[in-house]
Structures are given as structure tokens and as C-alpha cells.
């Protein structure tokens, strides 16, 4: 068998642009004189291009396989799994900014530090308490052009403040979760059961926010208190606030 003018390892490195300039130039000169060598180079380029083409796809937003996630045994894994839905969605689609009116309501409440006797559905309080927050206030929210909604305000042990707005969903509202970071403001939106949900917090750690939002989203869909095991894992997965 005749030994090729350039061995395959060098030729592949040439196609990958990994040879020093002098060696690359030498191969280029040989290829100019040797059609067979030029054909080998062309084949490798095609192969490389074909491979690059097989994976040129965008990540697809789809619900995670919930059952599988629940089988996980570590609290960290659960925290991550919950955070995932938010994180992945945030990476996959552009998010609309949080509405200024709701941000203003959140900021006004957070600044006032108001805490009052408040009640919320068990499915909501059980989840939110498991994440280390407690219900501080429930207030109606009136919009100028639609039916009223509810503002649930929650406080964490390190004075984290988080608002959940539940409003009748507008037509065409996206059911997928979107998340946005604007400076120190984090917001998340989704739709479930005919309602639109908006969560707002400032100065909150991203993973913690994602964990809470993912837990809230699941709760708004299932409308049931989570299983004891899930609550325990959520409690174990708490992360600190930045404030």
C-alpha cells in the first residue's frame, strides 16, 4: 500500500485549523499539486460540516418529566430540578419586563414592611412556607381595564420580600414560564388554570428565586398541597437570601 503524502492525523488537524502556519502552508502547497490530497481535504471538510449540521437546533421548552424528578433522593437535586424549569425557560425565550404597576405595588409593600393577619389557600401557603417564606399580606389588586386580582406578599427569614400576583389571564397569555432579571429585580410569569401569575423580588439569589418560582408554578397548576416528602426536600433545599 502506498503511504499517503500526508498522514491522516496531520490532515485532520489541518482541516481543523490546528496546525502551525508553516505546516499548514506546506500541506496547502502539496494539495495544490496533488488532486487526490485535495479530494481528501474536501471530504474531511464535508464530514466536519455535516457533523456540525446534525445538532444545529434550539433547546425546546417542554415540561420536565415530573415523576422522574420526584424519584431523586437528594434535596440538592430537587432544588436544582425546581430551579431548572425557570432557568431553562429563561434561557429559551425572551421575557417581557415586569409591569411597572405591580413592581410599584411590590416596592411599596416591601418598603413599608407591612405584616398583617392574612390567609391564603393551603396549597399556596404549604409550598411557600416550605421554601422558607411566610405570608405577610394579602390584598386585592384592581386593574384599570380588567377584573381584580390578588397580591400575596411573602417575607423570608433574612427579610427577603417576594410578591405573587394572581390575575385573571388575558387572552393570549403565554402559559410557559418566563423569567427576567432587570438589575436587582427578578420577575417570573406564567399562566395556569385560567390565571396569570407574576412573581417579583429584589436582591434575591437567582437559584433561590428560581426554586421558589418553580415550586409556586407547580402549586398553581396542581392546586394541591405538595406531598410531605416534597415539602421536606424543599425545606432542606433552602438557600440564603442576599439581603
**Which residues lie near other proteins (CB under 8 A)?**
8-9, 11-13, 16, 18, 36, 39-40, 42-44, 46-48, 50-60, 62, 64-65, 76-77, 79-81, 83-84, 87-88, 90-92, 181, 205-207, 210
CB of 109 to other proteins, least distance (A): 25
Nearer of residues 83 and 136 to other proteins, judged by Cβ: 83
CB of 93 to other proteins, least distance (A): 11
CB of 61 to other proteins, least distance (A): 9
Nearer of residues 125 and 131 to other proteins, judged by Cβ: 131
Nearer of residues 51 and 117 to other proteins, judged by Cβ: 51
* C-alpha to C-alpha distance for 96 and 168, rounded to whole angstroms: 18
CB of 111 to other proteins, least distance (A): 24
CB of 88 to other proteins, least distance (A): 5
Nearer of residues 59 and 140 to other proteins, judged by Cβ: 59
Nearer of residues 81 and 200 to other proteins, judged by Cβ: 81
Amino acid at each position: 500500500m502506498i503511504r499517503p503524502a500526508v498522514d491522516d492525523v496531520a490532515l485532520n488537524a489541518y482541516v481543523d485549523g490546528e496546525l502551525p502556519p508553516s505546516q499548514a502552508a506546506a500541506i496547502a502547497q502539496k494539495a495544490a499539486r496533488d488532486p487526490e490530497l485535495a479530494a481528501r481535504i474536501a471530504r474531511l471538510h464535508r464530514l466536519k460540516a455535516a457533523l456540525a449540521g446534525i445538532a444545529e437546533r434550539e433547546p425546546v421548552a417542554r415540561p420536565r418529566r415530573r415523576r422522574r424528578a420526584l424519584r431523586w433522593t437528594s434535596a440538592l437535586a430537587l432544588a436544582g430540578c425546581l430551579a431548572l424549569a425557570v432557568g431553562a425557560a429563561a434561557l429559551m425565550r425572551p421575557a417581557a419586563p415586569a409591569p411597572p404597576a405591580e413592581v410599584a405595588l411590590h416596592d411599596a409593600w416591601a418598603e413599608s414592611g407591612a405584616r398583617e393577619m392574612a390567609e391564603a389557600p393551603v396549597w399556596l401557603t404549604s409550598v411557600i412556607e416550605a421554601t422558607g417564606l411566610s405570608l405577610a399580606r394579602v390584598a386585592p389588586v384592581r386593574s384599570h381595564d380588567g377584573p381584580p386580582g390578588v397580591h400575596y406578599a411573602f417575607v423570608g427569614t433574612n427579610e427577603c420580600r417576594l410578591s405573587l400576583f394572581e390575575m385573571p389571564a388575558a387572552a393570549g397569555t403565554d402559559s410557559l414560564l418566563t423569567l427576567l432579571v432587570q438589575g436587582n429585580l427578578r420577575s417570573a410569569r406564567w399562566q395556569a388554570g385560567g390565571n396569570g401569575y407574576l412573581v417579583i423580588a429584589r436582591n434575591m439569589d437567582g437559584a433561590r428565586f428560581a426554586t421558589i418560582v418553580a415550586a409556586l408554578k407547580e402549586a398553581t397548576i396542581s392546586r394541591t398541597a405538595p406531598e410531605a416528602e416534597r415539602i421536606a426536600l424543599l425545606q432542606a433545599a433552602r438557600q440564603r437570601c442576599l439581603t
